[in-house]
Structures are given as C-alpha cells and as structure tokens.
Copies of this chain bind each other. A is one copy, B any other.
Amino acid sequence: MTLGRSFTSWVVLVALVLLGGCGGDDGAAGDAGADGGPGPAWALAIHGGAGAPDRSLPVAEQQAYLASLERALRVGQEILERGGPSLDAVEAVIRDLEDDPLFNAGRGAVFNRDGAVELDASIMDGATLGCGAVAAVGTVKNPISLARLVYERTEHVLLVGDGAERFADSMAVERAGPEWFFTEPRWQDLLRTRSREGGGTVGAVALDRLGNLAAGTSTGGRTGKLAGRVGDSPIVGAGTYADNTTCAVSGTGVGEEFIRRAAAYSVSAWMRHRGLSVEDAVRRVVLEELQPGDGGMIAVDRTGRIAMVYNTPGMFRGAADANGRLEVHIWE
C-alpha cells in the first residue's frame, strides 16, 4: 500500500465513521444492553419472530407468548449459569421453542403451498466458525439438533431435502409424522395463504462463561412458500452468524432480504471493520440496510452486551444474563 492510498483510506474512513455516527438513534425500536463496567459472565438473548401483531393482541395470548419465552430463557439460563457451553444453550433453547406450537419452527411450523412442512435451521460456534445447517426437512422433530450434527459429524455445512433426511436416518435423531406438525392455526394460515401475525422463526444467541459465542436459528419458513424454498435461517451469514471476535447474531423476517444483504454477517462486519458496538451494528443493519417491515435481529457480543432490534410492530424476545437480568417483551 502506498502512502498516498493509505492517506486517502484514512480520510475516507474517518468521514464514513463520522457520517456513521449520525444514524444511530433514529427512532429505533429495540433494547440496549448493559452499559459500563465489566460485562456479565454469561448472557443469552432469544427471539420468537418479528411478526408480532399490534397491541390489540388479547392479554391471554400475550401472556402465553411471554410465558413460552420465559420458559425457553430459563432452559438456557440453567446451562449457562453452571458454566455450560453457549452452543449447548443455543441448541437447548431452540429445541424448547421448536416443540412449542406457538412458534413457526419445529412443531408449530407453517405449511408450504403443498400443505407440507419444510423446516430449516442452522447453528454456529463463534470460537471456531464451525457451523451446520439443514433445509427443507419434513420429518425431523428438532432441526436445530440435526444442524448441530451436520457441524459435528460431517465435513459439510449445509444438507438439504432428501439427503438431509437420510443423514437424519443415519444419526437416529427423533422423527415426527404429519400429526405432530399439524396445528390448526397454521392450517388456517395456509387456507388464507398468509401468515398469521404471531410467533415466527425462533433464534438464540449466547455468551458462555468461557467467553465463547454461539448462535442458532430455526424456522418453518413462509406460509404458502414453494416446495423447496429456503430462506435465511439455515444460511450462515444471512440468518445466523457467530464469531468470538465480534458477536453472535440471529435474524427473523423476510428471508430473501436477509440473504441478499448477508444480514447476519453484515452485523459482524460493521463491528469488525468500523468498530461499532453490537447495538449500533444491529441498528445499522435492521434500521438502515433492511427495509421497514422486513424483520428483526438479536445479537450478543463477547462482553455480554445484548441488542434486540426490529423494524416491525413488535418482536417476541427475551434476554437474560449472569447479573440477574431476565426479561421478555413483545413490544417496547
């Protein structure tokens, strides 16, 4: 690199950093993480989709969603509190939400155009950049665990369709038939060919006591999708990313938009290249790169700071950490 180019880069970068500072607070919906002082020894954030309806949602339903989120948070809390790995916490939390019919993942997955479920999931280990994912599987009770097996037992990152089913056969993971995945609200969604406003894609990001980050995401995709359609959730870099040097991220929303913007990796890139905080990085991607209505993201950095930002009316979400934080929200 010549001195001339270096000086030019300096000026350009400084200008960009200064410009960047202007965009951080423009009417964002979201939650800031812990500020100042040493971070918590562990931290966990979860989401259950950014398709939350407006505040007219009946209180009983609100309470059901919040109870599910709190239950899932406590599953992860128990693992992280005793020093378990973030990857285990992420998997366990997502398994819990996959088994909950309120969310569009595992049991509560939406139906595709053919009236079948096709499930997608991915998981990533921030310590190694190791990752695994599955897409378009129809008989696997917990796709997040199959994704983890792709990471741990194969040389591959992503297995799809029939091949993924056969891999599931060889791994003896728990399977489920159409009766497990049949939920009346999702069937009604298909008949109306639109997704109900309600629980969506699920995801979790975690920092463990060893300082390792992990992220995972699981979904049934979009109601009425074409068979074989794969969204961002099983795409490392789009719906999920984890790198100990930056953050762990999970997204939810219009998957195609997350893919074309490499949304999860983009959060990591803002932190790595521009030195943004995890909050500012997530806000950049959700509030400026994505469009209003596209969805939301959760992230945690290696100091335990948590960001949860969405550009929709609400996002089912929760956060917990070693300092005693334990909270669940739908709106602000």
Q: Report A257 CB to chain B, min CB distance, Å.
A: 9
With A and B bound together, what is the CA distance between A158 and B136 in angstroms?
A: 11
Are the C-beta atoms of B260 and A129 separated by less than 8 Å? Answer: yes
| Residue A1 is within 8 A (CB to CB) of chain B in the complex | yes
| Residue A230 is within 8 A (CB to CB) of chain B in the complex | yes
Which of A8-16, A83-91, A210-218 touches B? A8-16
Known: A255-B157, A275-B13. A228 touches B270 (CB 8 A): no
| Residue A82 is within 8 A (CB to CB) of chain B in the complex | no
How many copies of this chain does the complex contain? 2
Are the C-beta atoms of A129 and B236 separated by less than 8 Å? Answer: no
| Residue A154 is within 8 A (CB to CB) of chain B in the complex | yes
Contacts of A158 in B (CB 8 A): 229-231, 235, 259
Are the C-beta atoms of B12 and A227 separated by less than 8 Å? Answer: no
- Cβ contacts A216-255/B at 8 Å (1 or 0 each): 0000000001111111000111100100000000000001
Q: Report A162 CB to chain B, min CB distance, Å.
A: 6
The one of B1, B21, B24, B159 that contacts A230, using a Cβ cutoff of 8 Å: B159
Are the C-beta atoms of B14 and A1 separated by less than 8 Å? Answer: no
With A and B bound together, what is the CA distance between A161 and B231 in angstroms?
A: 14
Are the C-beta atoms of B17 and A14 separated by less than 8 Å? Answer: no
- Cβ contacts A158-180/B at 8 Å (1 or 0 each): 11111111110000000000000
